């Protein structure tokens, strides 16, 4: 008969864990998404909605990048990392333990920008006329349009994402903001592809306008936002600048 294995009691486990100071993962919300493209063939089309001119550029399996703006100091010997947003030097001296719990022989940590790239389907919307040149207004309009896209395509907010990127508007002759929308599923889920179908973008604009006007935050000035119109978990860092009034005014101008 084989002897039964001893089961350690919780007191013994606590004694073992107290021997080491674990550096548990710190969650940071300073991520930034940017468009890398053009790695594949881009299908470009200009459409007229009302008196406005909008350029759409769709690309399949295009490239996006996600970077974290926090300061991570990493040991190149054992992989230990330390998050320190109070220090802006390229290196930091810190005694630490490796993943096995032993003292690491290297105390010099180097600052790195952490991130990754992924491929997915991408759609760019460029508002050529009327144009969009103010960054804070662009952020409000971006997140307003994402609400309209989700309503029109009947998808969840975590299935699609977007960012703002500058480009040169050859009609107005100045720098403008383009809206970059992409499927959050690597390789694409077909959502942004549906936006290129005839009439869908106009429907998205009208859905966005309906959602913004159905809210009453900000009073008569409409100069704020809430979770009913623009805010969500994923755009927390923009909550202070989101304004549903900006979205309403711009879309009304587009649809005139």
Task: Provide the pLDDT for residue 27.
Answer: 55
The two structure tokens encoding residue 212: 């913004």
Please give the pLDDT value at position 125.
95
Per run of 10 residues, the mean pLDDT along the chain (length 256 residues) is 40 35 50 78 88 93 88 93 90 94 95 90 95 95 97 94 94 94 92 93 96 94 95 92 97 94
Rounded-to-integer distance, Cα 109 and Cα 88, Å:
13
Residue 131 burial class via C-beta count within 10 angstroms: exposed 0-12, middle 13-18, buried 19 and up: middle
Beta-strand (E) ranges in the chain? Answer: 31-35, 42-49, 52-68, 72-74, 81-83, 91-93, 108-112, 115-129, 160-169, 174-183
Q: Which residues contact 102 (CB under 8 A, 6 or more apart)?
A: none
Q: Report domain extents, the chain.
A: 39-64+119-255
Residue 113 pLDDT = 83
In this prediction, residue 40 carries a pLDDT of 65
């Amino acid at each position: 008969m084989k002897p039964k294995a001893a089961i350690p009691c919780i007191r013994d486990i606590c004694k073992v864990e107290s021997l080491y100071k674990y550096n548990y993962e710190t969650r940071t919300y300073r991520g930034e998404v940017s468009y890398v493209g053009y790695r594949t063939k881009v299908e470009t089309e200009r459409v007229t909605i009302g008196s406005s001119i909008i350029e759409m550029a769709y690309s399949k399996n295009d490239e996006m990048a996600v970077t974290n703006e926090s300061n991570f100091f990493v040991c190149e010997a054992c992989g230990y990392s330390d998050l320190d947003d109070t220090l802006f030097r390229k290196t930091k001296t810190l005694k630490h333990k490796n993943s096995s719990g032993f003292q690491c022989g290297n105390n010099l940590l180097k600052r790195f920008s952490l991130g990754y790239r992924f491929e997915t389907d991408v759609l760019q919307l460029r508002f050529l006329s009327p144009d969009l040149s103010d960054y804070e207004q662009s952020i409000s309009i971006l997140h307003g349009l994402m609400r309209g896209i989700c309503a029109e395509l009947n998808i969840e907010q975590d299935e699609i994402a977007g960012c703002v990127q500058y480009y040169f508007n050859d009609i107005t002759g100045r720098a403008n903001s383009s809206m970059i929308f992409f499927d959050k599923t690597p390789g694409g889920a077909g959502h942004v592809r549906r936006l290129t179908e005839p009439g869908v973008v106009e429907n998205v604009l009208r859905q966005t306008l309906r959602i913004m006007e159905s809210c009453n935050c900000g009073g008569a000035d409409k100069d704020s936002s809430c979770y009913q119109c623009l805010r969500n978990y994923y755009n927390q860092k923009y909550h202070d600048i989101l304004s549903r009034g900006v979205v309403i005014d711009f879309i009304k101008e587009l649809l005139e």
